């Protein structure tokens, strides 16, 4: 197995066709077929299902594609790291963050890169906290913003700031003042699925207070949660940053949660087992400055 084979496999997988991949790579199609076939022989598994319209990944192929993204990204990072020793930080860096943070951090982050790291290439990847930590370990992402991540030996975690959780309600059905945690049981809640950082934090706080939450609907996406709430179907407990991009919506009302005040910690997370490149160190400083200043 070599890098050429892996790069060929990724192109075929992403284009869904040997012929399209051959055009993009400017390589004869039989040569691509031989590269992929050599991989299949070595792995003793078919990687693609061939059909009239092109190819489709098998389960084994899908798993290999995940590994390939991490492997090829690490190879690219190694080249960039060595090049950076000769000059200012260069190369590509992938930063992962939850969609609600990406909504208001992406533009200032790009502006900061244009000003301070003009030779660097930036990718902003959106995902939930569990996905982001997986991407950091696999090599798909170089650093990430994660709410209250679980400590793992493979990750370095730096707390950046605490955010209060608030109750988000339909404007016509909002409480008149701050809501105590023990009062929360009377509100039908729209919450992410179990395992989500907001859900875990709320359930932990409720259990400590002896309160049973009434989870009426499970919805993963914060924008979708707010759509449900604004339609008058339930309430949501979310962090201030998650609500910020949507505060202009007149159909929503935000109320503090008190006694106790519930906070979630936004952290900068990096892979512990990969050496920080000059570009990554600069990106960490930029991201930390943006988060603390927002």
Q: Class of the 88-160+266-293 domain?
A: alpha beta
pLDDT tens across the length of the chain (294 residues)? 888 889 889 989 988 888 888 888 888 888 888 989 998 899 998 999 988 788 899 999 999 998 998 888 888 778 777 765 655 688 899 999 988 889 889 999 999 999 999 989 999 999 888 889 989 988 889 999 999 888 889 999 999 999 888 999 998 888 988 999 999 889 999 998 887 788 888 888 888 888 899 999 999 888 889 899 999 999 999 887 777 777 666 788 899 898 888 888 999 999 988 888 889 999 999 999 999 876
Q: Do domains 88-160+266-293 and 162-264 have the same CATH topology?
A: yes
Contact 171, 177 (CB under 8 A): no
Instruction: Indicate the fold that domain 162-264 takes in CATH.
Output: D-Maltodextrin-Binding Protein; domain 2 (3.40.190)
Q: Class of the 3-70 domain?
A: mainly alpha
pLDDT tens digits for range 119-155: 899 999 998 888 899 899 888 899 999 998 888 899 9
CA-based Rg of the chain, rounded to a whole angstrom? Answer: 23
Identify the CA nearest to 202 among candidates 255, 238, 149: 238
pLDDT tens digits for range 233-276: 999 998 877 777 776 667 888 998 988 888 889 999 999 888 88
Per the document, the length of the chain is: 294
Domain boundaries, the chain: 3-70, 88-160+266-293, 162-264
Identify the CA nearest to 96 among candidates 35, 139, 148, 43: 139
pTM confidence score: 0.67
């Amino acid at each position: 197995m070599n890098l050429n084979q892996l790069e060929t496999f990724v192109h075929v997988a992403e284009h869904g066709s040997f012929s399209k991949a051959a055009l993009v790579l400017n390589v004869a199609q039989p040569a691509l077929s031989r590269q992929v076939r050599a991989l299949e022989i070595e792995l003793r598994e078919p990687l693609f299902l061939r059909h009239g319209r092109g190819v489709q990944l098998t389960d084994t192929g899908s798993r290999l594609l995940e590994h390939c993204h991490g492997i090829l990204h690490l190879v690219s990072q190694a080249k960039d790291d060595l090049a950076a020793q000769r000059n200012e930080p260069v190369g590509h860096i992938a930063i992962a963050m939850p969609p609600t943070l990406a909504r208001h951090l992406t533009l200032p982050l790009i502006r900061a890169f244009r000003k301070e790291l003009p030779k660097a290439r930036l990718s902003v990847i959106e995902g939930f906290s569990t996905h982001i930590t997986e991407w950091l370990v696999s090599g798909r992402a170089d650093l990430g913003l994660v709410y209250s991540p679980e400590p793992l030996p493979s990750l370095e975690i730096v707390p950046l700031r605490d955010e209060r959780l608030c109750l988000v309600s339909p404007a016509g059905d909002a409480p008149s003042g701050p809501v105590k945690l023990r009062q929360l049981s009377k509100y039908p809640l729209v919450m992410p699925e179990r395992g989500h950082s907001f859900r875990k934090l709320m359930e932990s706080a409720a259990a400590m207070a002896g309160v049973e939450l009434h989870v009426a609907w499970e919805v993963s996406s914060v924008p979708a949660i707010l759509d449900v709430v604004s339609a008058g179907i339930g309430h949501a407990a979310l962090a201030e940053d998650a609500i910020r991009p949507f505060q202009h919506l007149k159909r929503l009302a935000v109320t503090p949660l008190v006694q106790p005040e519930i906070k979630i910690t936004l952290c900068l997370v990096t892979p512990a087992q990969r050496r920080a490149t000059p570009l990554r160190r600069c990106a960490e400083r930029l991201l930390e400055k943006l988060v603390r200043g927002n």
